[in-house]
Structure 1
Amino acid sequence: MRDKAAELATHYVRTHDAADILGISPRTLEKYRCHGGGPVFRKLGGRVVYAIDDIEAWANQSACRSTSDPQYLAARGAGQIRPSANANSAIPGSTRR
């Protein structure tokens, strides 16, 4: 039983470790988790964990050979928050002109 727990611990990392692996801040990873666009995560009890394989898969989705690569635009926008069409309608007194 102890070996299984040790094996699982090596496959999953917490937010700060996942951010270190990706070279981004933990706060950025938290924003991705809230707004979408980041790697797949799991909520185990009160803890958020990331599988190493999921982190690598997410990073590999952004692989490009050059800035003219069609994938580049999608990779560049990874993790960006896209405003909804009704973004201003939720703000009282705001109008869109």
Structure 2
Amino acid sequence: MNKLWGMQEVADFLDVPINTLYQWRTRKYGPPGKRVGKYVRFVPDQVKAWVESLPDGTA
């Protein structure tokens, strides 16, 4: 298993501000993330799959 990504790694990968990721989470949008203690962590393959699942012209 690959190392889990934090908010900064996902923000860098998607080229969006971290605040955008937090807003997406409150709206139940964005890549799936899991809470690990007080942190949100992401499986890199799931983030990439989420991007691939977006309709053309969305990302």
User: What TM bracket, shorter-length normalisation?
Assistant: 0.7 to 0.9
Matched, 1:58 2:58: no
Q: Which residues of structure 1 form unaligned runs of 5+?
A: 1-6, 65-71, 77-97
* Pair member with larger Rg: 1
If asked which structure has higher relative contact order (CA below 8 Å, sep 6+), I would say 2
**1:26 corresponds to which residue?**
18
Aligned residues: 59
Q: Match for 2:38: what amino acid?
A: G
Percent same amino acid among aligned pairs?
Answer: 22
Q: Give the secondary-structure state (helix, strand or coil) at the position aligned to 1:48.
A: strand
Displacement over 6 Å in runs of 4+: none
Return the TM-score normalized by structure 1.
Answer: 0.54
TM-score, scaled relative to structure 2 = 0.84
RMSD, aligned CA: 1.8
Q: Provide the secondary structure at the position in 1 that maps to 2:40.
A: strand
Name the aligned partner's letter for residue 11 of structure 2.
Answer: A
Equivalent of 1:44 in 36, 47, 50: 36
* Cα distance, 1:25 vs structure 2: 0.8
- For structure 2, which runs of at least 5 residues remain unmatched after alignment? none
